[in-house]
Amino acid sequence: MSAVAPEWVRPGPTVNPEGSRSARARLVTLALIPAVILAAMLGLTTGAVAMTPWDVLRILTGQLDDPFLHEVIFNLRLPRVLVAITVGAALAMSGVALQGLFRNPLADPGLIGVSAGAALGAVAVIVLGTTVLAPLVLPLGVLALPLAAFAGGLATTWLVYRLASRGGHTSVATLLLGGIAINAIAGAATGMLVYMADDQQLRTLTFWNMGSLAHAGWTLWAVSAGFVMLALAALPFIARALNGLMLGESVATHLGFPVHRIKTLVVITAALAVGASVAIAGIIGFVGLVVPHLLRLTIGPDHRYLLPASALGGALLLLLADALARVIVSPAELPIGLLTALLGGPFFLWLLMRQQGRLG
């Protein structure tokens, strides 16, 4: 560089306190990949029918031809594991995106009402899909449920964002209070729809508030996974911009980022991911809060690493939680939303206590 730079800009010897952190970030992100694969294997082997990893591998590759085990793997456990990966990645990723947008580590799709809005959209399709909303829902077929969840998530994200940010600043108090109000409104509307529902619809709905990975079929999973892939494709665009946004919207503008376009993209990305996960698994809280926070402590806040690492971490967390939910009350199973709330709730309290001085 000395060939092009004049003498006065030639720097001297350097320190680089950041080097070790980005090396660690890369290492942690890479290490999460085998961890997710191992956890997926754990999910495939755990359950009422005992199986060794070797059996699972042979069934997956078609070498072991046992119709019963084949049925268990392909119709029960594999969809479940894939759903856990999709939902975990989607929730953690949208958590990071929303936290970056609001510039606050307390933004979580469940807390600020995005999940509730998405659930309202989905419940409306289930209850009213054959009557009032039929002209809208029937032509969309299997897409109706995730699309409605996406629309509900989009509307609430936009509303919360409009509420909480004024002139480039975000008020945390307004954000959380707005989240409470939106959760209450969406909850009440969902409750009214549940009240109107018939018995069969009720059975479909019961898992919604607690969250469950057990009810998704292959089709719904494939559609929702498509949504999540769309959101994943947007990540490279927003990672650098979210880094710029960490110093505030006006600084990001000064650094040459098209801030308005980026905010729109982040809102749509988060709503896509949350909509997809709510459509297949109902409301699962705290994943979007816990995973990014822990990873930020480990690898720092650089979104180029934080976004992919959180997607992997979310998948890992949900795979492990699902395996646990199936083991503790075996042969029955705990709704996974209850489990994440049981673990995530105390974590959130701890976070609040640590942040006491700065929350304002």
Residue 340 interacts with other proteins (CB under 8 A): yes or no? no
The nearer residue to other proteins, 280 or 311, going by C-beta atoms, is: 311
The DSSP 8-state label assigned to residue 76 in this structure reads: I
Residue 17 interacts with other proteins (CB under 8 A): yes or no? yes
**Closest to 175 measured CA to CA, from 290, 267, 241, 98:** 98
Residue 313 interacts with other proteins (CB under 8 A): yes or no? no
Residue 296 interacts with other proteins (CB under 8 A): yes or no? yes
Torsion of CA 9, 14, 20, 26, to 10 degrees: 30
From 161, 208, 227, 257, residue interacting with other proteins (rule: CB under 8 A): 257
Residue 103 interacts with other proteins (CB under 8 A): yes or no? yes
CA angle 132, 136, 140 (to 5 degrees): 135
Q: How far is the CB of 157 from other proteins (least distance, A)?
A: 18
Contacts of 317 (CB under 8 A, 6+ apart): 88, 92, 287, 290, 291
CA angle 349, 290, 350 (to 5 degrees): 20
The nearer residue to other proteins, 70 or 237, going by C-beta atoms, is: 237
Six-digit token string for 2: 């000395």
Q: How far is the CB of 223 from other proteins (least distance, A)?
A: 25
> What is the Cα–Cα distance from 285 to 338, expressed in whole angstroms?
9
Transcribe 254-295 into DSSP letters: HTT--HHHHHHHHHHHHHHHHHHHHHHH----SHHHHHHHHH
166 DSSP β-pair partners = 169
Q: How far is the CB of 81 from other proteins (least distance, A)?
A: 24
From 11, 34, 62, 139, residue interacting with other proteins (rule: CB under 8 A): 11
Q: How far is the CB of 12 from other proteins (least distance, A)?
A: 7
The nearer residue to other proteins, 96 or 223, going by C-beta atoms, is: 96
**Interaction pattern, residues 215-254, with other proteins; x per rule: CB under 8 A:** ---------------------xxxxxx-xx-xxx-xx-xx
Report yes or no: 328 and 339 within 8 Å, Cβ to Cβ. Answer: no
Q: How far is the CB of 283 from other proteins (least distance, A)?
A: 26
The CA distances from residue 306 to 8, 17, 66, 263, in Å, are: 36, 19, 42, 18
From 256, 331, 353, 356, residue interacting with other proteins (rule: CB under 8 A): 256
**Closest to 249 measured CA to CA, from 161, 324, 167, 308:** 167
Residue 1 interacts with other proteins (CB under 8 A): yes or no? yes
Torsion of CA 234, 237, 238, 239, to 10 degrees: 110
The nearer residue to other proteins, 58 or 296, going by C-beta atoms, is: 296
What are the φ/ψ torsions at residue 132 (nearest 5 degrees)? -65, -45
The nearer residue to other proteins, 9 or 50, going by C-beta atoms, is: 9
Residue 353 interacts with other proteins (CB under 8 A): yes or no? no
From 50, 297, 329, 332, residue interacting with other proteins (rule: CB under 8 A): 297
The nearer residue to other proteins, 27 or 247, going by C-beta atoms, is: 247
**Interaction pattern, residues 259-278, with other proteins; x per rule: CB under 8 A:** --xx--x-------------
**52, burial (CB in 10 Å: exposed 0-12, middle 13-18, buried 19+):** exposed
Residue 27 interacts with other proteins (CB under 8 A): yes or no? no
- The residues in 112-171 that bind other proteins, with binding defined as CB under 8 A, are 169
From 3, 15, 329, 332, residue interacting with other proteins (rule: CB under 8 A): 15
Phi-psi region of 62 (alpha: psi -120 to 50; beta: other; left: phi over 0): left
Binding site for other proteins (CB under 8 A): 1, 5-6, 8-9, 11-12, 14-19, 103-105, 169, 236-241, 243-244, 246-248, 250-251, 253-258, 261-262, 265, 296-297, 300-302, 304, 308, 358
